[in-house]
Structure 1
Amino acid sequence: MELRTVLRHRLATQRLTGPPLPTAADVVRLLTCVQAQEREHACFSLALRSRATTLTEVRAELDSGAFVRTHILRPTWHFVAAEDLRWLLDLTSPRVERVLAVQLRRSSVDERQVGRALEILAEALAGHNFLTRKEIGVRFAADGLPESGQDLGNLVMVAELRGLVCGGPIRGVQHTYALVDEVVAPTPARTREEALTELARRFFAGHGPASIRDFTRWASLTVTDAKAALADSGDGLERVDVDGVPHWYDPALLPGQRSGRPGSPARCGPGPRRAHLFPTYDEAVLTYPAVNFPPPRDSPAPAAPDQWWATVVVDDVRVGTWKRTVGRNAVTVESRLLGTLDDEQRGLVEAAAEHLGDFHGLPVRHVESRT
């Protein structure tokens, strides 16, 4: 499969082109886990793919508990649907905790403190008493536990990985924590084999075409586990080779794109031209270390100077970087774009910036520099 076809398939599957999904929670279910350490950037990722097009609408779904924000899959924040939380934690937390254990050994935190922290959290959050991280730190300090910094964060992360707490409603600009058993309904347990198979099916369906390497990085799995899970995931996935590397995807998740011939891959035409201001850590960019949006031929896209600069794509080509500053009265979008873009392409980038302004409910000030 040609690179441009791969990229168009991904954009269509993730609903970045074509009809959006009804809700932000539907996007989280499609992608299974959405990296979300930059919360509002991650909310914009959901808005780009759904009919929940504003920050207010996405946050309302988050606050309702339709999906939650927690440390899962890898040692970082993710959005995950409430009904997927427990089985994903059971499957992936042991490997993540082994990574976290190295950090704990380097600090002053010991097993006794971990146990006491879990007890305090269970007591402090009981009865839907949602607390911010700072408020939890005050409770910890009263018992001689770390009040702030990485040690506090690691203790709370252990509680997340063990399924005791997860993110609660947002209070102002601060996230809160809640007891999982109070905000997430019980769900049936899965065997490890069932969970691995489901995770493989869901990953390649929501992120395909993707490779085994993409899957192992995304899910923190061993190659052995990833290959076994893929083999057991059934006949719904189709394999294509990209530069000699096997990739898998689910053609059924390309609405209206099937060619109609049995066994033939879905066809995904170019569709209307558009630009994408992908948020920091967006799944469409972050997931694929090897096969990703290329710069124009013989004209490399500007490099991101730091983590706050994200990717600008026009159609399926990387043409620059951008970042945003949300002020009281406007959103400032700074972009570093290739000087070779034509007027139509620049108009598409302007439209994408206006979309960001609509998301925040503010006018946009776009400041562009050319390379």
Structure 2
Amino acid sequence: MSPSVVAMNPTVEPALEPTVESRTTAGRPAGVPRLSWEQVCAARLRRHALSAPAPGAGPADVAAALAGVHAQMLPAAELSIALRIAGATRADVRTALWEEHSLIRTFGPRGTVHLLPARDLPVWIGVLSAIPSAPSSFPKDVQLTPDQTEEVVRAIADALRDAELTVDELDEAVADRTGPWAADPVMPAFQTLWPRWRQALHLAGMRGALCFGPNRGRKVTYTGPHRWLPDLRPAEPREALAAVVRDYLLAYGPSTPQRFAQWLTVPVSWANELFTSLAGEMRRVEVEGVPAWAAPGDLTAPDEPPRGVRLLPYFDGYAYRVGNQPPGLLYPGRAAERVLPGNFQVMLVDGVVAGLWHQRRSGRTIDITVEPLVELTAARRRELDEQVERVGEILEGRPRLTVGVVTVGGHA
């Protein structure tokens, strides 16, 4: 896959200098580097361009460095990316998405909506087509058969070959190409019933038959990624899986098969087998005494410990949580009970979750409430003020900060 933001700036990669055991101790293999949580945390902040904006990076470079950006709420994804690029605004992300097509919005890891670099889409399609499919949660009489599923995916690809369709228009197009069974309103969803074929909507995106097009007013549209990437072909599965594991470890490592399984939503047994098959392409390490895997040559980090106040928008904090384990270290103290159970926008202090925040827009005014869970020193308050100003700049509005209790629930 494409190089990460870190790789584009090698001058900021002094040696991590982990402690290396020269002999076996308490069952530990000789020569295994031992890393502290502080070292790992500092490295992750740098990789995510949160210790400092990524020099010379564009939106697609940031999405590559994060192994995809969660984009269920597109404004949150725009903020996630722009926060990591000096001087960028949401308009720059929209240009990359809808004009340059260097970003593609589609169904990615965990079957959820992501912004993925267009140059990496062949690898992602190769991976998402190769992972085990989860069993359907619908009753037998609602489910698509395997043959029907394949027929629907082909119909979607054909309908979107040269078009941008709303989901209602796609209902008709798929039924025309398959049969009335595809339009049967049998799929429970949001207190209503959807047509049967929509069970395959996510799968079509993961297979490369579908991606998101620009909104038509307030309506979402879908189109075929081949319109923008005519040479799009899935990468060979084994090479694709190796590339995604490497990029995952660069973004969130050192890590374990169990955490990778949670990040990609695959069976742990399958992830264990994958990591075993790639053992020669990874390096064993220990983080606070826990065995883990790192990408080759990835034992680098800034000289300084993790520092800084950062505001992460919706789903950015979720991705940071899913990738950056264990939660006991990432959510210390009150954060474990106040923030961890919900999907809040989070405040990082020195690389760990130390607060939550909420924004509400009225015209050009953006009211931002931040609830700290640690003491805000004078230096931290100055950094918070800077972050709030930066959020306002990215969202092209006038921010107004209140330090107090966030009274809305997660994802509000």
Who is 1:270 aligned against? 304
Match of 2:259 in 1: 214
Match of 2:202 in 1: 157
Which residue identity lines up with residue 346 of structure 2 in the other structure?
T
In 2, Cα distance between equivalents of 1:157 and 1:300: 33
Assess, with a 3 A threshold, how the Cα gap between structure 1 residues 307 and 40 changes in structure 2: closer, same or farther. Answer: farther
1:260 aligned residue: none
Counting only pairs closer than 5 Å after superposition, residues 139-218 of structure 1 correspond to structure 2 as 139=173, 144=180, 145=183, 150=189, 151=194, 153-172=198-217, 174-187=219-232, 190-218=235-263
8 Å contact kept, 2:136–2:143: no
> 2: CA distance between counterparts of 1:303 and 1:13?
27
2:50 is the alignment partner of 1:2 = no
Structure 2 residue 393 is the aligned partner of structure 1 residue 345: no
Is the 2:258–2:272 Cα contact (8 Å) retained in structure 1?
A: no
CA contact (8 A) 2:311 2:348 kept: yes
Q: Which residue of 1 aligns with 2:314?
A: 280
State whether structure 2 residue 120 is matched by structure 1 residue 75: no
Which residue of the partner structure matches residue 170 of structure 2?
Answer: 136
Q: How does 1:67-146 map to 2 (within 5 A)?
A: 67-95=103-131, 98-99=133-134, 101-105=135-139, 108-111=142-145, 114=149, 117-118=152-153, 120-127=155-162, 129-137=163-171, 139=173, 144=180, 145=183
Residue 250 of structure 1 and its aligned partner are, at CA, apart by 4.9
Normalised by the length of structure 2, the TM-score is 0.74
**In 1, Cα distance between equivalents of 2:42 and 2:401:** 27
1:223-246 deviation line (CA, Å, top 9, x unaligned) = 33331354142xxx5543112223
Could you tell me how far apart the structure 1 residues matched to 2:157 and 2:374 are? 56
Deviation at 1:137, TM superposition (A): 4.1
Distance in 1, matches of 2:397 and 2:315, equals: 23
Q: 1:93 and 1:266, CA in 2 relative to 1: closer, same or farther beyond 3 A? A: same
Mark the CA change 1:56 to 1:170 in structure 2 (over 3 Å): closer, same or farther.
farther
Normalising by the residue count of structure 1, what TM-score does the alignment of the two structures yield? 0.81
Post-superposition offset of 1:337: 1.4
The one-letter code sitting in structure 2 at the alignment partner of 1:6 is: V
- Distance in 2, Cα, partners of 1:188 & 1:136: 23
Map Cα deviations across residues 58-90 of structure 1 (whole Å, 9 max, x no partner): 011111321211112322112222232233223
Taking a change above 3 Å as real, the CA distance of residues 211 and 341 of structure 1, as seen in their structure-2 partners, is same
Whether contact under 8 Å (2:106, 2:205) holds in the other structure is yes
**1:318 aligned residue (353, 363, 366):** 353
Aligned pairs for 1:241-252 (under 5 A) are: 241-250=286-295
Q: Which blocks of at least 5 consecutive residues in structure 2 are unaligned?
A: 1-34, 407-412
Verify the 8 A CA contact 2:262 2:322 in the aligned structure 1: no
Q: How far does residue 7 in structure 1 lie from its aligned partner after superposition?
A: 0.7
- Name the residue aligned to 2:32: none
In 2, the alpha carbon distance for the partners of 1:107 and 1:76 equals 25
In 2, distance between residues paired with 1:51 and 1:107?
53
Partners of 1:294 and 1:165 lie apart in 2 by 36
Take 1:334 and 1:202, find their aligned partners in 2: how far apart are those partners? 34
Cα deviations by residue, 1:165-189 (Å, 9 ceiling, x for unpaired) = 1122344454421113222242565
1:220 maps to a residue whose letter is T
Residues 137 and 146 in structure 1, CA contact (< 8 A), matched pair in contact too: no
Aligned length: 353
**Greater mean deviation of Cα atoms: 359-368 or 213-222:** 213-222
Pair 1:354–1:106, CA change in 2 (3 A): farther
RMSD, matched Cα = 3.3
Render the CA deviation track for 1:269-304: whole Å, top value 9, x for unaligned.
Answer: 3379531111222233331341575456x6657713
Between 359-368 and 132-141, the greater mean CA deviation after superposition: 132-141
Cα distance change on mapping 1:252 and 1:241 into 2, 3 Å: closer
In the superposition, relative to structure 1, how do residues 272 and 73 fare at CA in structure 2: closer, same or farther (>3 Å)? closer
Using a 3 Å threshold, how does the CA distance of structure 1 residues 252 and 223 change in structure 2: closer, same or farther? Answer: closer
SS of residue in 1 equivalent to 2:404: strand
Equivalent residues of 1:239, 1:248 under 8 A apart = yes
Match of 1:61 among 64, 80, 96: 96
Aligned to 1:227: 275
Contact kept, 8 Å, 2:53 with 2:83, in 1: the verdict is no
Question: Residues 204-256 of structure 1: CA distance to partner in whole angstroms, max 9, x if unpaired?
Answer: 123223333322222334233331354142xxx55431122233445867xxx
